[in-house]
């Protein structure tokens, strides 16, 4: 599977920076499910807790330059997750779409697959290596490349799935247990960006949206509990 972690998930309640306790809890859950359920795990990390390209562009920065800064932020988060996983005894490799051989391997599909076969967790950083894409897109693309069975989109803001409207703004919003790709697109539901949704639809990749910060949710999703998150297919 490919687990997509937003940068904000690393920040905890502060909303910025890296919360070591949060990262350790996420890492422990990854270690536990990989061991107990014998599932191969690749993790795509975002960087919004450190820098968000759209924010820089909104303040007059060149969009490509701002996005490149965001790619570097994802590598910082990837290294933090790697260090924590390895403290827990889990062999790990960080692969970056932006070449920086001194601190991370370049992303090479066959090498990533080989790492997974050897029981390593592969952390995929650097986005796609190109500006103008969110980290949702590499999550979908890498899942297809690595023959993953699903993309697990971990949310961080207390929202435990896909709703008919923003539950923080609309008290009548209801959670959807399952929704189709076309419904997500046509209704503008906040799941992943449209590029990612259409890519997953074209490649028959199911998406599970769930609250990754609720302890035990990753295991519940992988064990198939219907009450956890929303399935998009």
Q: Which residues contact 12 (CB under 8 A, 6 or more apart)?
A: 19, 21, 22
Q: Can you give the pLDDT at residue 21?
A: 93
Find the farthest-apart pair of alpha carbons in the chain and give their distance in angstroms, rounded.
51
Say how many residues make up the chain.
233
Go through the domains of the chain in sequence order and give each one's CATH number. 2-232 (3.40.1160.10)
Please give the C-alpha separations between residue 120 and each of 50, 83, 209, in angstroms, as whole numbers: 26, 13, 24
Q: Please give the distance of CA 97 from its chain centroid, rounded to a whole number.
A: 15
CA 153, 42, 125, 13 dihedral sign is positive
Tokens 């998406």 appear where? 207
Q: Can you give the pLDDT at residue 31?
A: 97
Q: Can you give the pLDDT at residue 173?
A: 85
Q: Can you give the pLDDT at residue 172?
A: 85
18-51 per-residue burial string, b: 16 or more CB within 10 A, e: under 16: bbeebbebbbebbbebbeeeeebbbbbbbbbbbb
Q: Using an 8 Å Cβ cutoff, are 72 and 150 in contact?
A: no
Q: Using an 8 Å Cβ cutoff, are 182 and 206 in contact?
A: no
Q: Using an 8 Å Cβ cutoff, are 126 and 107 in contact?
A: yes
pLDDT one digit per residue (tens) for the chain, 233 residues:
999 999 988 987 777 899 999 999 999 999 999 999 999 999 999 999 998 777 777 788 899 999 999 999 999 999 999 999 999 999 999 999 999 999 999 999 999 999 999 999 999 999 999 999 999 999 999 999 999 999 999 987 777 888 888 777 888 888 899 999 999 999 888 888 899 999 999 999 999 999 999 899 999 999 988 778 899 99
- Give the angle 147-150-151 at the CA atoms, nearest 5°: 110
Nearest of 145, 125, 147 to residue 135 by alpha carbon: 125
β partners of residue 207: 151, 232
């Amino acid at each position: 599977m490919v687990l997509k972690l937003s940068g904000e998930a690393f920040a905890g309640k502060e909303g910025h920076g890296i919360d070591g306790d949060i990262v350790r809890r996420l890492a422990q859950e990854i270690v536990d499910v990989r061991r107990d359920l014998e599932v191969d795990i690749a993790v795509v990390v975002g960087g919004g807790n450190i820098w968000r390209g759209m924010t820089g562009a909104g303040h007059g920065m060149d969009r490509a330059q701002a996005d490149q800064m965001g790619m570097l932020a994802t590598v910082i988060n990837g290294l933090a997750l790697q260090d924590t996983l390895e403290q827990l005894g889990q062999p790990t490799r960080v692969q970056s779409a932006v070449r920086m051989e001194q601190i991370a391997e370049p992303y090479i599909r066959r090498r990533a697959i080989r790492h997974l076969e050897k029981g390593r967790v592969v952390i995929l950083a650097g986005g796609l290596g190109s500006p103008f894409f969110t980290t949702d897109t590499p999550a979908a693309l890498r899942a297809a490349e690595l023959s993953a069975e699903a993309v697990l989109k971990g949310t961080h803001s207390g929202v435990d799935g896909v709703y008919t409207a923003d539950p923080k703004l609309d008290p009548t919003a209801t959670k959807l247990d399952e929704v189709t790709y076309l419904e997500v697109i046509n209704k503008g539901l906040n799941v992943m960006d449209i590029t990612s949704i259409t890519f997953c639809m074209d490649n028959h990749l199911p998406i599970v949206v769930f609250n990754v910060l609720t302890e035990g949710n990753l295991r519940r999703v992988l064990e198939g509990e219907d009450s956890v998150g929303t399935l998009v297919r």
